[in-house]
Structure 1
Amino acid sequence: MSAGTLSYAVELRTIASPALWAVTVAALSLLLLVDLLITRRPREESVRASVGWSVFYLLLPVLFGCYLWAAHGGGVAAEFFTGFVVEKSLSVDNLFVFMLLLAAFAVPPALARRVLLYGIVGALVLRVVFIWLGAAALQSGTWAFLLFGAILIVTAGKIVKDVLRGGGHEVDISSMRTVLLVRRFVPVTDDYRGSRLVVRERGRLALTPLALAAVAILGTDIVFAVDSVPAVYGVTEDPFLVFATNAFALLGLRALYFVLQGVLTRLRHLNHGLSVILAFIGVKLVLHWAHGVWAWVPEIPTLASLLVIVSVLVIVTVTSLLANRRDRVRAASARPEPVGEPAGER
């Protein structure tokens, strides 16, 4: 290739045979069906059950990665594990927004897991669409690497800007376009009607607040997909691995939400870490494009990417815990000392 060729078509190769695709999709559908049956009856999620399901959904990608290692080698397995860590860290950030949406819509605890399942299914469908679009973009030319890299770098900058402004995670339902659009054309009941999304009221169909919460989460899923799919394409160009990392990262979100519900707000530096990870992968994509044009431009190996991503997540977790501990010490020292009674009055 000549140095003047700034873009060329990418031949996407996949390790997945039609049989592997079929088995993976069938297993995913079965797991989603099980989740749907579990959430059929409205009830509060127990922490013990959530921990059990979370462990189960963390073991699945480990076993799948071991299979990839045995069947296709360590390089493919490293790409899968790196992509999974990226997607899982982004999905934990998504849980912050889900938590705020559930609180903003005052979703009863007994219905929370049903809304989360709707969000997970919607996210998975949208990821499939974006994965297909991403693959088509890559096949049309390497300009897609530059586009994906730019999206991630801009997103990282936006996260840093929000952090510096002290905005963090904020949800304003009244300004959400998806919610405004639904309210404009469809009547909405004032209260929840169990797990029902649609009811008949005064002779016409009306949505319940549960349906609005599901629509709001679906709207945020679109934003999440724009970030997550380019991020994992920065790790692997195999559409099957991109799909698998997204699927495994999303499957355990419902259970993980109830496990981390009390911990999420303590990870105050998670956004800082995600901005670093997204910017790093964005640079990696740009270097990957440049290496295809000019061979002397270095690329970032997958194992090095995994080391950087894991290190960033460990660092922001430790700094968050230390910051929380510092605040507790300051709060304790700021409390006024109890005034003792005079000795003569005892």
Structure 2
Amino acid sequence: MFTGIDSVAGPALWLITVGALLALLVVDFTLTRRPHEVALGEAVRWSLFYIALPLAFTGFVWLRFGSQHGIEYLAGYVVEKSLSVDNLFVFMLLLTAFAVPAELQQRVLLYGIVGALVLRAVFIALGAAALARFDWAFLLFGLILVVSAVRILRAAGSERQSTVDVDRLRSVRLLRRLVPVTADYQGPRLLGRIDGRRALTPFAVVVFAVLTTDVVFAVDSVPAVYGITGDPYLVFVTNAFALLGLRALYFVLHSMLARLVHLNYGLALILGFIGAKLTLHWAHLQWPGVPEVPTLASLGVIVLILAGTIASSLHAARDRHPQRLP
């Protein structure tokens, strides 16, 4: 599973990858420069592109670095993509709570994605350094995932929260204490004026709220993919590909997210499984006789959990709203 902290990618591939990522972000910013409400057809086309791209990249990793790394990359991408769907649910609650105009929603999501990419890059670098120096970092990451799984499972035991009280968010309360906020949105502008003084717009406040949630998601996400592969390059590209398509995927899944009523149960199982896998790897380093979970078996378990989660969620939604579903 872990073959060392050195990346399979050399400096040239890192530079090409980061350059391609920046180019895609520039395209996204260009597309959202003119505020407009996203049509379903537009969202579907971009979602298909951002799903086809990482799947095609699987072939590149497989041919360039071998089947083991190909399986690790694919398993890591599936994990990150499934966790990103939960991100979308929180983004939906925030956009609704802040009453973000439809034409501005994709720009808020794009700022959130950029913030998440930066945070993931920092966490990935820190995680790589820790895993390279300390065996107990595997145990720590495993415990973090198990705790996260328990937290998600407890939340899944109650009715999923459908609203957010903006005034109770600590990040928002702190920001409003420090800086005045205008009453109305002023397009995608982050700054406005109150009585001649500079002030933040509600758009800036919702962007700040989204960025603070990115920190929480990064704490779960990075250890989860390090439970699949110890290669920092594969960890980075799986996170990047999972995040890049979120803007378009949000508008495709917006009406369907509420139907994934068992999503938290599935995510809790996945995080708990990967946490146990990391713990076993730490134990294997201490006592070589302790078995490890093969990456291919991990991919199979993750896919089965996701398939079961989707099937049970749709079945439960059909029972709740039979007139809305075929």
- The TM-score with structure 1 as length reference comes to 0.91
Q: Across the two proteins, how many residue pairs are aligned to each other?
A: 323
Shift of 1:252: 0.3
Deviation at 1:168, TM superposition (A): 4.6
| Structure 1 residue ranges without an equivalent (≥5) | 1-9, 333-346
Q: Which runs of 4+ in 1 moved over 4 A?
A: 167-170, 329-332
What is residue 208 of structure 2 aligned with on the other side?
Answer: 215
Q: Is residue 2:68 matched to residue 1:75?
A: yes
SS of residue paired to 1:189: coil
Counterpart contact for 2:142–2:276, Cα < 8 Å: yes
Q: Secondary structure at the match of 1:16?
A: coil
Counterpart of 2:118 (choices 114, 125, 133) is 125
For normalisation by structure 2, the TM-score amounts to: 0.96
Mapping of residues 1-346 of structure 1, within 5 Å = 11-168=4-161, 171-329=164-322
Unmatched segments (≥5 aa) in structure 2: none
Which secondary structure does the structure 1 equivalent of 2:34 belong to?
Answer: coil
Q: Secondary structure at the match of 1:171?
A: coil
How has the CA–CA distance of structure 1 residues 48 and 330 changed in structure 2, closer, same or farther, with 3 Å as cutoff? closer
Deviations 1:216-250 (A, max 9, x none): 00000000000000000000010011000000000
Whether contact under 8 Å (1:97, 1:169) holds in the other structure is no
CA distance change for structure 1 residues 325 and 55 in 2, over 3 Å: closer, same or farther?
A: same
Greater alpha carbon shift after TM alignment, 267-276 vs 137-146: 137-146
Residue 331 to residue 110, structure 1, CA distance change in 2 (3 Å): closer
* Larger Rg belongs to: 1
The aligned amino acid for 2:210 is: I
SS, match of residue 321 in structure 2: helix
Q: Deviations over 1:265-319 (max 9, x none)?
A: 0010011000000000000000011111111111001011100001001001111
- Does the residue aligned with 1:289 lie in a helix, a strand or coil? helix
Distance 1:218 1:168 in 2: 20
Distance 1:147 1:165 in 2: 28
Q: Distance in 2 between matches of 1:331 and 1:186?
A: 45
Paired with 1:41 and 1:196, the residues of 2 have a C-alpha distance of 12
Q: Comparing 158-167 with 146-155, which one deviates more in the overlay?
A: 158-167
Q: Per-residue deviation at 1:178?
A: 1.5
Specify whether residues 331 and 123 from structure 1 end up closer, same or farther in structure 2 by C-alpha distance, changes over 3 A only.
closer
Contact 1:97 1:171 in 2 (8 A): no
RMSD: 1.5
- Please give the secondary structure, in 1, of the residue aligned with 2:192: strand
Kept in 1, the 8 Å contact 2:43–2:252? The answer is yes
CA distance in 2, matches of 1:150, 1:28: 32
- Please tell me whether the aligned partners of residues 96 and 169 of structure 1 are also in contact (alpha carbons under 8 angstroms): no
Contact 1:57–1:251 (CA<8 Å) still a contact in 2? yes
Q: 1:145 to 1:171 in 2, by over 3 A?
A: farther
Aligned equivalents of 1:171, 1:239: Cα separation in 2: 35
Structure 1 residues 285 and 130 mapped into 2: Cα distance closer, same or farther (>3 Å)?
same
- Equivalent residue letter for 1:30: A
| Cα distance change, pair 103–168 in 1 and its aligned pair in 2 (3 A) | closer
CA deviation vs aligned residue, 1:108-131 (integer Å, no higher than 9, x gap) = 000000000000000000000110
1:133-176 superposed Cα distances (whole Å, 9 cap, x missing partner): 11111122111111111110001001111121334565332222
Residue 284 of structure 2 contacts residue 291 of structure 2 at CA under 8 Å; is this kept in 1? yes
C-alpha displacement at 1:331, in angstroms? 11
Counterparts of 1:198 and 1:311 in 2: how far apart (Å)?
47
8 Å Cα contact 2:148-2:271 kept in structure 1: yes
1:207 Cα deviation from its structure 2 partner:
0.4
Q: Look up the equivalent residue of 1:305 and give its one-letter code.
A: S
> Counterpart of 1:84 in structure 2: which amino acid?
Y
Q: Percent identity?
A: 59
